[in-house]
Amino acid sequence: MLTSRLLLRPLQPADAPVIAAYRSDPDVARYQSWTAPFTNEDADMLINELVEADPAKPGWTQYGIELRSVGRLIGDLGVNLHRNRMQAAIGFTVAAAEQGHGYGPEAVGAMLDHLFTDFGLQKVSAECDARNLASARLLQKVGFHREGHLRSNTFAKGEWTDDLLFGLLADDWMTR
pLDDT in tens, 13-52: 999 999 999 999 999 999 999 999 999 999 999 999 887 8
| Residue 1 forms part of a structural domain | no
Mean pLDDT of 51-68: 92
Among 40-54, 115-129, 145-159, the range scoring the smallest mean pLDDT is 40-54
Report which of 2, 42, 45, 50 is spatially closest to residue 22, judged by C-alpha positions.
42
Tally of domains within the chain: 1
Average pLDDT over residues 125-129: 97
Rounded Cα distance, 118 and 98, in Å: 28
In a domain, 74, yes or no: yes
By CB atoms closer than 10 A (0-12, 13-18, 19+), residue 108 is: buried
According to DSSP, the β-strands at 72-81 and 145-156 are: unpaired
What pLDDT was estimated at residue 10?
A: 93
Domain that residue 29 falls in: 6-174
Does a structural domain hold residue 88?
A: yes
pLDDT in tens, 92-102: 999 999 999 99
Beta bridge partners, 106, equal none
CATH value at residue 86: 3.40.630.30
